[in-house]
Homo-oligomer: A and B are copies of this chain.
Amino acid sequence: MQRSGHGTDLAVGDLTRAIEDFNRYYIRLPVVQKLPFTTLSVLDTLVQSGPKRLTELARAEQISQPGLTQLVTRLEHDGLVERRRDPTDGRAVLVHLTERGRQICQARHEDRGRHLLPLIAQLTPEERQSIAEALPALVRLAELGRQADQ
């Protein structure tokens, strides 16, 4: 266990394992809206960060620029996003979420909460307490991770 060195008195292996566990559970969660994975990720990104350029989105999602252009075309066709010209740069397009796109993200979020609730109910009060106390730190950790990738 990597316990020393960089001022991290936390078992990195354990945390990594825990996060991977959650990923495996969450990723395969059956969801209401059956959409391709990258599509959902793009929508979430737009919810969090607001309108973005195609190029920025492609970098964030780690797919090619043409791939994202096609994806946005599909999304636009389905009425989940809108392309608007960037007023400050005639070459660029800003991808905006529509109300419908926002609703889908919201519905997914609530759906996941519904899956989680009965699981939380099975924990002991002490376990729930410890998780509740760790939440701010976990959120900050995720925040740092997002920054690290720019």
Q: Which A residues lie at the B interface, using CB under 8 A?
A: 2, 6-30, 37, 41, 44-45, 60-62, 109, 112-113, 115-123, 125-146, 148-149
Name the B residues within 8 Å of A120 (CB-CB): 8, 10, 12, 15, 141
Identify which of B19, B28, B62, B116 contacts A16 (C-beta below 8 A). B116
Q: Are B119's CB and A145's CB within 8 A? A: yes
Q: Are B131's CB and A141's CB within 8 A? A: yes
Q: Which label, helix, strand, loop or mixed, suits the secondary structure of the A interface?
A: helix
Q: Are A138's CB and B9's CB within 8 A? A: no
Identify which of B41, B60, B141 contacts A119 (C-beta below 8 A). B141
**CA distance in complex: A14, B112 (Å):** 12
User: Which chain B residue lies CB-closest to A128?
Assistant: B10
Most buried by B among A18, A62, A117, A131: A131
Q: Are B149's CB and A28's CB within 8 A? A: yes
Q: Are A8's CB and B134's CB within 8 A? A: no
**CA distance in complex: A106, B129 (Å):** 32
Show 21 A/B contacts (Cβ-Cβ < 8 Å), sorted by A.
Answer: A6-B118, A7-B125, A9-B125, A10-B128, A12-B120, A15-B116, A16-B116, A19-B22, A19-B116, A21-B139, A21-B146, A22-B23, A22-B142, A25-B142, A27-B41, A30-B62, A37-B37, A126-B137, A128-B137, A130-B133, A130-B137
